[in-house]
Structure 1
Amino acid sequence: MSKLKTALVDNRGGRWVPLLLAVGLTGCSTYYGQLAVGQLELLRLREPIATIIESPRTDPQLRQRLGLALQARRFASTTLALPDNDSYRVYVDIQRPFVVWNLFATEAFSVAPLNHCFPIAGCVAYRGYYQQGRARGAAAMLRSEGYDTLVTGVQAYSTLGWFDDPLLSSMLRWEDERLAGLIFHELAHQRLYIAGDTAFNESYASFVEREGLRQWRTSRGLPPVDETAQRRYAELSGLMLDTRERLAELYASDLDEAAMRAAKRAEFMRLRQAYRQLRDGAWKGDHRFDRWMAQPLNNASLLPFGLYDRWVPAFAALFEQVGGEWLLFHARVEALGRLPADERAQQLEVFR
């Protein structure tokens, strides 16, 4: 559900390899050390997609998927005005379902995330780990200190243009249209990223993904996307956000700890009941989110919701205002990004 935006050093002048090696070799057991080692491994394993496609040893299904990815990659730059570089023109088989695992955490009686700040990317509501065991170990340590935690796998992330990001085997788990949309989403982060404003960044990239996918399908003579899944995710997100608001009010109250813990449990029971009613009623038995709801729910489980779509309606309105011209749209979004955070949010509220 979320994307790790971690860029360690500048590779645009060719200076990043020694720095990454220094971090990785002297501190591979540290958090930054594992980031350096993981990123170096991806860089080492990259292969040009064109070369893989031309090889007679390439599996025909892989050749087809990679060919489609290159088509989407060209469409992203020629039609959506997204960066034209070598990102997603190289491939890495990571031989695991996720490239990183993100760890979210909150205090026991708070819905505010435990933020983490990084060079370039600014402050975000999670930490990313290249090994699932490391993420789970860090989560266990936080839980022992009384925090609520969530560990969730991520199929792709952007280094914001500081590296040529590869297409990953984990991304190929998605169907064709979802794969194209993911490429559009990640390239949008390369086009614009405002340090410390996750909702702005993710909503912008999510709008580019959705509108880009709509135009991509039209260009290929395909019917419009079935919006049922998107609508139902929005309804699930609404349940989560409502729960978060009620919990915020609860945690601001003067209840004693025992009473607050009981009320917290009751809120998550209420959430599960509301989900079952929605699933078995309006959704007519659609069980697509059952696995998510079956896990232990806590404050951290609510954090990813709202990060990716809060401002999507505002960006859609802005896109319509500029007549669907991508260059004008990106320029207007970049102008918003230069505003102070409070003023930027006010402008987005007007559009929404």
Structure 2
Amino acid sequence: MPTTLLIEMLDRVRRLSVPLLGAWLLSGCSTLDYYGQLARGQLALLYARQPVQKLIDDPAQAPELRQRLARTQEARAFASARLGLPDNGSYRVYADIQRPYVVWNLFATPEFSLQPQTHCFPVAGCVAYRGYYELGRARGAAALLGQEGLDTWVGGVEAYSTLGWFDDPLLNTMLRWDDDRLAALIFHELAHQRLYVPGDTAFNESFASFVEREGLRQWRASRGLASGDDAESERRDRLTRLVLDTRERLERLYASGLPIESMRQAKAEEFERLRRDYRAMRDRDWGGFNRYDAWVEGPMNNAKLLPFGLYDQWVPAFSALFRAAGGSWPAFYQRARELGELSQQKRTQALESLMANR
């Protein structure tokens, strides 16, 4: 993601997870080239890994790096001992990949639709993006799709999960975050290893986001700290609501049957309305807090709105499920797994029922 988008609101957007496996199951020159770059990127990442404890114990390493890594290992141990998350080599290794992002995700939609162009992968199922280890490749693919009349957006990814197929490393891209955000990421990505339903991104990300939030709350409580920055959480949620409201209005617009030029003008007006509403909220309610300005004021299209809502849609349902499980992580995971085994329709109905009764 461009540096102008390094804002906490979009941390979750930048953590869309997909395992990079199964290239041999697909054919075609362009497909082979795409999976070839994924395989090369993943192998380079694996090659760069080093045991975290070895770096912590090495006096030749920078003191700040050793201190940051030591704090991550406290959160990593808490994840398995207290949150019931996998106890494996993930986040017990470190890789400095010498770049600001590990992968760039490309999202695409038709000009007058919010339905994403989807891509199906072995293990992960179908997702609404494609990942590239090189920014130039992502931008090149976006340009080709743009020539076909699609809306596109490229966002940098600072971490992703291989769902336990490999020992996922801590990355230099992650260490610019503060300790809480880094601990939250570890909880989130390990939750994907705990439970993953192929093809249901909203379920997977909402599940992991709940584990992240509740895990962070318990992690802070274990150290005698308050729950966290409620004001920042409230600002993030309100911006998300503005974006989701914009999406709803755009969906109605695209279903209206207006002539193309009229629809195109109305689409631009909706994006400008989003900017106006954001500025009013920022100035009226946030005292000029402007961390999200660059994202809101930058170029807008359908694809840029796609990730919003994926991480939050079912979080209240999982919160209700956790309470129903008596706050027991093993019982919660078992009930969540049972939901994951349902058909898509029945799973959605169950989650809606949990939302209604929360």
TM-score, with length taken from structure 1 = 0.94
Residue of structure 2 aligned with 1:63, choices 37, 62, 66: 66
Residue of structure 1 aligned with 2:266, choices 263, 266, 288: 263
Residue of structure 1 aligned with 2:338, choices 330, 335, 338: 335
Deviation at 1:294, TM superposition (A): 1.8
Aligned counterpart, 1:13: none
Residue of structure 1 aligned with 2:160, choices 157, 160, 183: 157
Match status 1:179 vs 2:182: yes
Aligned counterpart, 1:15: none
Amino acid aligned to 2:15: K
Residue of structure 2 aligned with 1:282, choices 268, 282, 285: 285
Deviation at 1:323, TM superposition (A): 1.3
1:196-216 deviations in Å (ceiling 9; x for gaps): 100000000001000000000
Q: Secondary structure at the match of 1:173?
A: coil
1:278-308 deviations in Å (ceiling 9; x for gaps): 1111122110110111210011111010011
Indicate how the Cα distance of structure 1 residues 153 and 183 shifts in structure 2: closer, same or farther if over 3 A, else same.
Answer: same
Deviation at 1:7, TM superposition (A): 2.4
1:128-183 deviations in Å (ceiling 9; x for gaps): 11111111111111111101111111110000011110111111110001000000
**Moved runs in structure 1, 4+ residues, more than 4 A?**
26-29
Amino acid aligned to 2:201: T
- RMSD of aligned C-alpha atoms? 1.7
Match status 1:7 vs 2:22: no
Deviation at 1:339, TM superposition (A): 0.4
Deviation at 1:29, TM superposition (A): 7.6
Inter-partner Cα distance in structure 2 for 1:79 and 1:137: 45
Q: Secondary structure at the match of 1:293?
A: helix
Q: Say if 1:8 and 1:120, in contact at 8 Å, map to a contact too.
A: no
TM-score, with length taken from structure 2 = 0.92
Residue of structure 2 aligned with 1:319, choices 308, 322, 328: 322
Amino acid aligned to 1:45: A
Residue of structure 1 aligned with 2:103, choices 84, 90, 100: 100
Aligned counterpart, 1:129: 132
Match status 1:244 vs 2:247: yes
1:200-237 deviations in Å (ceiling 9; x for gaps): 00000001000000000111111221121111111111
Match status 1:301 vs 2:270: no
Q: Say if 2:14 and 2:158, in contact at 8 Å, map to a contact too.
A: no
Inter-partner Cα distance in structure 1 for 2:18 and 2:235: 30
Inter-partner Cα distance in structure 2 for 1:160 and 1:281: 43
Inter-partner Cα distance in structure 2 for 1:28 and 1:56: 45
Residue of structure 1 aligned with 2:210, choices 207, 212, 228: 207
Amino acid aligned to 1:335: E
Figure out how many residues of one structure are paired with residues of the other and give that number. Answer: 341
Amino acid aligned to 1:6: V
Inter-partner Cα distance in structure 1 for 2:146 and 2:300: 14
Deviation at 1:27, TM superposition (A): 8.7
Identity %: 61
Inter-partner Cα distance in structure 1 for 2:234 and 2:313: 14
Inter-partner Cα distance in structure 1 for 2:21 and 2:206: 25
> Which shows bigger deviation, 28-37 or 146-155?
28-37
Q: Say if 1:2 and 1:304, in contact at 8 Å, map to a contact too.
A: no
Q: Say if 1:87 and 1:164, in contact at 8 Å, map to a contact too.
A: yes
Q: Secondary structure at the match of 1:128?
A: strand
Residue of structure 2 aligned with 1:86, choices 85, 89, 92: 89
Inter-partner Cα distance in structure 2 for 1:343 and 1:283: 41
Q: Secondary structure at the match of 2:199?
A: coil
Aligned counterpart, 1:16: none
Inter-partner Cα distance in structure 2 for 1:51 and 1:180: 20
Indicate how the Cα distance of structure 1 residues 293 and 9 shifts in structure 2: closer, same or farther if over 3 A, else same.
Answer: closer
Inter-partner Cα distance in structure 2 for 1:212 and 1:348: 21
Aligned counterpart, 1:113: 116
Inter-partner Cα distance in structure 2 for 1:28 and 1:141: 15
Deviation at 1:2, TM superposition (A): 3.4
Structure 2: runs of 5+ lacking an equivalent: 1-12
Q: Secondary structure at the match of 2:126?
A: strand
